[in-house]
Amino acid sequence: GAVVSQHPSRVICKSGTSVKIECRSLDFQATTMFWYRQFPKQSLMLMATSNEGSKATYEQGVEKDKFLINHASLTLSTLTVTSAHPEDSSFYICSAGQGAELNTEAFFGQGTRLTVV
Amino acid sequence: GQQLNQSPQSMFIQEGEDVSMNCTSSSIFNTWLWYKQDPGEGPVLLIALYKAGELTSNGRLTAQFGITRKDSFLNISASIPSDVGIYFCAGQRGGADGLTFGKGTHLIIQP
């Protein structure tokens, strides 16, 4: 299957700082990537849809100024958590599909464990 | 955000037993997917279903896309220790849409 790589896998940052997480599609071009958040022992919740060359689409309740998304190329999307707070500590996971047609399979990155202290 | 109704929440079974879990939704999805997630890692796709009524197998795994497009089930036959983990169903409306996940089924296999 397709490979999606996420970096870093773990990050610890201080409150008030910003953290950038990268999501790369390694063997295909992804016009659309997705960012999810997963709190401990809970399911994945979609945060936003990252569109190459245009603005991201955020789910209800997700602050776009706090979670900045940049999808500058067909193989890279970045999520920046700005002014991080302890409650932002979570597992962030990206996914990418191989096309915009129906029947696209979504492949996930390894996830990034963010801890804000 | 919306979540799918996935059950059971957890299962304690003996090695060799068959496993069945299902997901239901109040709205229609055009694609159903089943994932397995190990601790600290991203979900790994097990089976993708694209047509209502479709029954698909992947080794010991079998999944079906419900006729109403509002439900799906996953069966695992003859469970083995490496089947331990959390299984998630997910629905997708269109190929350009993100996924809506179930709450997960935690599979525990007792020796």
Searching chain B, which residue's CA lies closest to the CA of residue A91?
B40
Q: Which of A5, A32, A34, A43 to mutate to test the interface with B (most CBs of B within 10 A)?
A: A43
**C-alpha distance across the termini of chain A, in Å:** 36
* Model pLDDT for residues B29-48, shown as the tens digit of each residue: 999 999 999 989 999 999 99
Cβ neighbours of B103 in A, within 8 Å: 42-43
* Confidence label for B1 from pLDDT (cuts 50, 70 and 90): low
Give the per-residue pLDDT at A102.
42
pLDDT under 70: residue ranges of chain A: 1-2, 98-105
Exposed e or buried b per residue across A15-51, where buried means at least 16 C-beta atoms within 10 angstroms of its C-beta: eeeebebbbbbeeeebbbbbbbbbeeeebbbbbbbbb
Q: Which of A115, A111, A117, A113 is nearest to A89 (CA)?
A: A115
The whole-angstrom distance between B2's CA and the closest CA on chain A is: 8
Q: Which of B98, B51, B13, A46 is nearest to B21 (CA)?
A: B13
Count residue pairs from A and B with Cβ separation < 8 A: 79
In Å, how far are A19, A38, A62, A64, A87 from A16, measured between CA atoms? 10, 21, 18, 17, 12
Give the per-residue pLDDT at B65.
96
CB-based contact, B98 to chain A, within 8 Å: yes
Contact predicate B54/B65, CB 8 Å: yes
Q: Count of alpha carbons within 13 Å of A36, Cβ hemisphere only? A: 28
Give the per-residue pLDDT at A97.
73
